Amino acid sequence: MGRIDTIFTALRAEGGRALMPFITGGHPTTAATTAMLEGFADAGAAIAEVGLPFSDPIADGPVIAGAMHDVLHAGTTIDDVLRAVRTAKAHTDMGLVAMVSHSIVHRRGDGDFIKQLADAGFDGIIVPDADLVAIDALLPTIDALQMSCSLLIAPTTTPARIEALVQRCRGFVYLLARAGITGQRSSMDGLDQRVNTIRQYTDLPIAVGFGIDSSAAVAQAVEACDAAIVGSALVKAIDTAQDPVKTALDTVTALATGLPTLA
Amino acid sequence: MTDTHPTGWFGDFGGRFVPETLIAALDELADAWISAMADAAFRDELDHMLRHWVGRPVPITHCPRLTAHCGGADIWLKREDLAHTGAHKINNTLGQVLLARRMGKTRIIAETGAGQHGVATATACARYGMTCEVYMGAEDARRQALNVFRMRLLGATVHEVHDGSCTLKDATNAALRDWMGSVGKTHYVLGSVVGPHPFPDMVRDLQSIIGHEARGQCLDRIGSLPHTVVACVGGGSNAAGIFAGFVGDADVRLIGVEAGGRSDDTGEHAASIGLGAPGVLHGSRSLVLQNDDGQTATVHSCSAGLDYPGVGPQHAHWHASGRANYIRVDDTSALDAFQLLARLEGIIPALESSHAVAAACTIAADMSSDQVLLVNCSGRGDKDVEEARRLLD
């Protein structure tokens, strides 16, 4: 059983839910990335997502895209981010997943890159933009390393496509609360129905993201799902902070109050 | 292949590398395109508009003085410069706007680099009363202020994009982002044979009128097929269009011409096939210009229409299979050809097309006088006169 499976199995056993903060790797510095990842577990996160900076992040709104451009402009490379993660991994048992465009995965060697992610301490990968043909080519390596593999399900995704997607998911499924790009507020309207549709095809944990920016939104998201992902709201707070690490940890601490309290 | 959409691949190139939100829209578009092509009324309307509004068929023109100057093959031009708005772009935008209308979409978005595709999109939207919003990199908008005005004159809204390098790739990102939040009522008119399936198929089909017309015209007027067909390649839509008419004729040699820019150093050219490597950009796997991390490289060409870090996946496949050959022509040679065609034939080609003309001169010199070389003059050079003056002064 992979690390992500272990985390969700333990949470489910006690009726808990996961908070999954997203940060852009290297934003604003690789040292800050390390410090945030080392502190997130105590702040209440079960799993953290690290977005690898990409020059053309189509799915991301201005906040995350801007952070990625800043990181690349500063000369930070993918290897720099992997080093920052490896350093943090020595000091935390929190789950770590990489959110990475297939443009990077492919150019860095597909399966070889999955191994590099695992070596850096990642327990899983989220590929938001890969053709399923490409996912199928990665799965043998992902499975051999017992990593999670999360594909996105959108409000526009048809049931037939949901079935095809969840067959390729390992660890957890990533559900988009709404169409569009990251960083826009969303209502959770219709979330229950979409969760029910997904449940017809898989028992994997479901993490919901896009537009969650408060502890109340976290609470609402985890009523129907196993995990709440907080991305743009956190990246925005980090972007404007005097002390980015403290701000990141304080923000996650505040968001975690939306999680159910365990008996 | 276990994908639910096994079509959309050209050998190892193509596919759909896009955020999940767009998959349903691409499915809808692919189905709508197949259904439209099978609908005689749709084809009649497109044909009527191509004839009476775009001004097709455009002729092929013999170039006796250029032929004499180069020595060798007989050089002919396919005159896309004579199409409405002055380039082949209108073939695609008209078709896609008609399709969007048939799909019940009320809003059109597009990306543009130099502004040619934006103008062609705004033109088709004006004709059909569709809302049109064009994304253009802020740097491009500054360099091509006249085209920004032209689009606004045609009723379009131009959004300047201030992300990344503020050029075509960033405008494309912005258009894709818009589409993700607006797929219900909006159609994205992609300007070249790039992007996720079905765009490479659909745009090639809409541009294939270039090749089908040219093939018939060669048989009618010359009495034979050309020995060689030459076209410039940025994203590759004019080349895919003219190649489509001849790709089934195994004896016809197909040559694509990429922008060699100032040198072969990264950032100094836009030769995705000649100097790039397999990678994923803007929704498909193709040959692209990236660094070793998969980050998109900066590109350069004197011609804004060729200044793109990727190429259509079918071109990557034609290159891999050997069906077409791809060469590159540098800025200086293109500028020379720009002047040469103006002086010898009274035709000012677009700087994009000037790359094909420059290559044609070299290729023709190695051919015999009884062979025919057909060059796609994909656009007219009026838009480039000011830039050429700056570069030549």
Give the whole-number percent of chain B exceeding pLDDT 70: 98
Q: How far is CA B167 from the centre of its chain?
A: 17
Mean pLDDT of B221-244: 98
For position B72, what pLDDT does the model report?
97
The model carries a pTM of: 0.95
Between the alpha carbon of residue B189 and those of residues A229, A254, B28, B108, B356, the distances in Å are 33, 43, 14, 7, 26
For position B1, what pLDDT does the model report?
34
- Which pair of structure tokens corresponds to residue A113? 């890159």
Which residue of the set B84, B88, B282, B300 is catalytic? B88
C-alpha span between A117 and A131 (Å, rounded): 20
Q: Can you give the CATH number for the domain in which A136 is found?
A: 3.20.20.70
CATH number of B19-50+89-204: 3.40.50.1100
C-alpha span between B350 and B378 (Å, rounded): 7
Amino acid at A15: G
Confidence check: pLDDT of B3 > 60: no
Is the CB of residue A68 less than 8 Å away from at least one CB of chain B? no
CB contact under 8 A, B24 and A157: yes
Using left for φ > 0, alpha for ψ between -120 and 50, and beta otherwise, residue B322 falls in left
For position A178, what pLDDT does the model report?
74
The boundaries of every CATH 3.40.50.1100 domain in chain B are: 19-50+89-204, 55-86+208-392
Q: Map tokens 């479901």 to a residue.
A: A206
Confidence check: pLDDT of B64 > 60: yes
Q: How many domains does chain A have?
A: 1
Q: Are B67 and B340 in contact (CB under 8 A)?
A: no
For position A1, what pLDDT does the model report?
86
| Residue A262 domain flag | no
State the best of B9, B197, B293 to mutate against chain A, taking most chain A CBs within 10 Å: B293
**Greater pLDDT, B272 or A156:** B272
Q: pLDDT 10s digit of each residue in chain A, 263 long? A: 899 999 999 999 999 999 999 999 999 999 999 999 999 999 999 999 999 999 999 888 889 999 999 999 999 999 999 999 999 999 999 999 999 999 999 999 999 999 999 999 999 999 999 999 999 999 999 999 999 999 999 999 999 999 999 999 999 999 998 766 666 665 677 888 999 999 999 999 999 997 889 999 999 999 999 999 999 999 999 999 999 999 999 999 999 999 998 65
Tell me, what's the ipTM? 0.94
For position B165, what pLDDT does the model report?
82
Chain A residue with Cα closest to B291: A107
What pLDDT band is residue B4 in, cutting at 50, 70 and 90?
Answer: very low
C-alpha span between B388 and B386 (Å, rounded): 5
From B23, B163, B180, residue closest to A161, measured CB to CB: B23
Q: What is the mean pLDDT of chain B?
A: 95
What pLDDT band is residue B2 in, cutting at 50, 70 and 90?
Answer: very low
CB contact under 8 A, A102 and B17: yes
| Residue A227 domain flag | yes
For position A189, what pLDDT does the model report?
73
Instruction: Please report residues of A whose CB lies closer than 8 A to that of B3.
Output: 131-133, 136, 164
Chain A residue with Cα closest to B161: A62
Mean pLDDT of B227-241: 98
Instruction: Please report residues of B whose CB lies closer than 8 A to that of A62.
Output: 163
B88 as an active site residue: the answer is: yes
For position A211, what pLDDT does the model report?
82
| Residue A261 domain flag | no
Is the CB of residue A81 less than 8 Å away from at least one CB of chain B? no
CA dihedral for B158, B178, B201, B195, sign (positive or negative): positive
From B170, B173, B294, residue closest to A108, measured CB to CB: B294
| Residue A134 domain flag | yes
B94 Cβ contact list (under 8 Å, min separation 6):
B46, B49, B50, B53, B54, B124, B127, B206
Domain limits at A246? Answer: 3-256
For position B5, what pLDDT does the model report?
41
Min distance A46 CA to chain B CA atoms (Å): 25
Tens of pLDDT, residue by residue over B325-347, are 999 999 999 999 999 999 999 99
- Flag the least confident range among A49-63, A248-262, B4-18, B161-175: B4-18
CB atoms within 10 A of CB A189: 11
Is the CB of residue A107 less than 8 Å away from at least one CB of chain B? yes
Q: In what order do the strands lie in the sheet with A95-99?
A: A148-150, A124-126, A95-99, A47-51, A18-24, A227-230, A206-209, A173-176, A152-153
Task: Please determine, looking at this structure, whether the domain spanning B55-86+208-392 carries the CATH number 3.40.50.300.
Answer: no
For position A179, what pLDDT does the model report?
66
Helix or strand run (H / E) with residue A119: helix A111-120
Pairing of strands A152-153, A173-176: parallel
Catalytic center residues of A = 49, 60
State the best of B177, B179, B281 to mutate against chain A, taking most chain A CBs within 10 Å: B177
Min distance A248 CA to chain B CA atoms (Å): 25
